[in-house]
């Protein structure tokens, strides 16, 4: 009777880690470009 759903593809640690890394990277790159150009 009871069924549910979750984001199964997100349950691993790899992709969230990649996402966090990309976020740091893109913010750092854009800020550096804004500072030095």
What's the token pair of residue 1?
A: 């009777």
Least CB distance to another protein at residue 36 (A): 9
- Min CB(13)–another protein separation in Å: 11
Torsion angle, alpha carbons of 26, 28, 29, 30, to 10: 80
The conformation of residue 37, written as its DSSP 8-state character, comes to -
Provide the token pair at 18. 């990649």
From residue 1 to residue 37, the character string flagging contacts with another protein as x (rule: CB under 8 A) and all else as - is: xxxxxxx--x----xx-xxxxxxxxxxxxxx-xxx-x
Binding-site ranges for another protein (CB under 8 A) = 1-7, 10, 15-16, 18-31, 33-35, 37
């Amino acid at each position: 009777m009871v069924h549910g759903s979750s984001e199964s593809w997100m349950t691993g640690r790899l992709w969230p880690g990649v996402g966090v890394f990309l976020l740091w990277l893109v913010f750092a790159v854009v800020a550096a470009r804004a500072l030095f150009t």
